Amino acid sequence: MNTMSGQPWSVETMAVVAGRPPHEAGAPVSPAIELTSTYRSWEPFGGTDAGVYTRMNNANWRDLEAAVGALEGGTALCFASGMGAGAALFDLVPAGGRVVMADSCYGSMLSLAGQLSTAGRFSLTLVDISDTDAVVAELPGADWLIMESPTNPLLQVADLPALCEAARAAGAKVAVDNTFATPLLQNPLALGASVVMHSGTKYLAGHSDVVLGVLVAADEALLQQLRSYRGLHGAILGPMEAWLALRGLRTLAVRVERQQATAGVLAKRLHEHPAISLVRYPGLASDPGHERARAQMRGFGAMLSIELAGGVHAADELVQGVRLWVPATSLGGVESLIERRRRIPGEPETVPKNLVRLSVGLESVDDLWADLEQALDGLGQ
């Protein structure tokens, strides 16, 4: 439960009510898009104050941040992209520090961490995040543990409470990319993390029409450092994008509930199809992450990955053979997307070459299945 005005409200309700204009006569129900680069001001300013200069703060950020912060149980800061948020996150690592990171994190996060470590900014240890003992063994001397759960695109589930606890005992802070789970299904701050990251491009905005990132934290010192980074590096989110993201966020609960219900049905059907050698979806009882996901999530999400028995060729043929599923990268929108991940240069080698990632949208489950089935049945013909 989150609270606003002393009311105990659920995540579903907060997605609708948080970040609205004030509850007073004449106030608009939906916020305006405030297109201004600067504001009238004459007081000395501290750089983060409202209404001074749009690079430092603006009304549309405040609305969006109020809503995402309420959903994740902390204070949110928006960035120009998920990777913009990721770059700010790495900036929190002390110079010469040590980062322990999941080897199955999103590929560009791994590439950036690799570049920073090669440049001598910090040392980097990559771990299999599903192997709790192996991760815990690497924590002594670490400054940060950076992970995703479920991971993109392997759908591995980390034991978040155990890892946060072990990191705290070792004096390390924890960041969790919650893009796949969304705040509807999982709240890493409540499980012990210091920072939550989102590619807001995905489920938060939800309509494949805007790119943004968000970091959420409760610790004021971390937030100050992140605000300073954002203001000084200057690659900020535009007010229009913030407005679009908040508009999309209003329907987060209904979208994710429907998408994950469809994903659950598709996962079972795919699991039984002879052309598929493996379905990776934490909602399947046979999935290695199933019990952990049940314990720490409020659902299993709407992302799934499949491996084709016919290898890379079959995977490419499947993506070319569908008509309703959209062959495109990204995820979390209303339309279902499909892609073979290793076609992307720099995708980690931990990702099998025959893996196809599916982002389940809002189309009818029967239409989505019929399309997949005809493409799978036609493989090799």
Ligand X SMILES: Cc1ncc(COP(=O)(O)O)c(C=O)c1O
- Which residues lie near ligand X (CB under 6 A)? 81-83, 106, 109, 148, 152, 177, 179, 199, 201, 211, 213
- Beta bridge partners, 304, equal 358
Distance of closest approach, residue 11 Cβ to ligand X, in angstroms: 20
Q: Which is nearer to ligand X, 216 or 275 (CB)?
A: 216
Q: Which is nearer to ligand X, 211 or 244 (CB)?
A: 211
Find out whether 330 and 201 touch, Cβ atoms under 8 Å. Answer: yes
- How distant, in Å, are the alpha carbons of 217, 226, 243, 287, 288 from that of 221? 10, 9, 27, 39, 37
- Beta bridge partners, 279, equal 306
Q: Which of 63, 159, 177, 371 is catalytic?
A: 177
- The reply to whether 202 belongs to the active site is yes
Output the six-digit token pair for 306. 């499949």
Distance of closest approach, residue 108 Cβ to ligand X, in angstroms: 6
Alpha helices in 272-344 (DSSP H): 290-296, 311-321
Find out whether 174 and 194 touch, Cβ atoms under 8 Å. Answer: yes
Distance of closest approach, residue 236 Cβ to ligand X, in angstroms: 14
Q: How far apart are CA 352 and CA 277, in angstroms?
A: 12
Q: Which is nearer to ligand X, 85 or 270 (CB)?
A: 85
Distance of closest approach, residue 152 Cβ to ligand X, in angstroms: 4
Q: Which of 62, 63, 98, 106 is catalytic?
A: 106
Nearest to 84 by CA among 120, 109, 101, 105: 109
Q: Which of 98, 202, 341, 342 is catalytic?
A: 202
Q: How far apart are CA 364 and CA 289, in angstroms?
A: 27
- The reply to whether 40 belongs to the active site is no
Distance of closest approach, residue 275 Cβ to ligand X, in angstroms: 26
Q: Which of 39, 49, 53, 55 is catalytic?
A: 55
Distance of closest approach, residue 374 Cβ to ligand X, in angstroms: 28
Q: Which is nearer to ligand X, 239 or 321 (CB)?
A: 239
Q: Is 107 helix (H, G, I), strand (E, B) or coil?
A: helix
Rg (CA), the chain: 21
Q: Which is nearer to ligand X, 98 or 198 (CB)?
A: 198
Q: Is 292 helix (H, G, I), strand (E, B) or coil?
A: helix
Q: Which is nearer to ligand X, 237 or 314 (CB)?
A: 237
- The reply to whether 371 belongs to the active site is no
Angle between helices 365-377 and 252-271 (to 10 degrees): 30
How many H helices and E strands in the chain?
A: 13, 14
- The reply to whether 106 belongs to the active site is yes
Active site residues: 55, 106, 177, 202
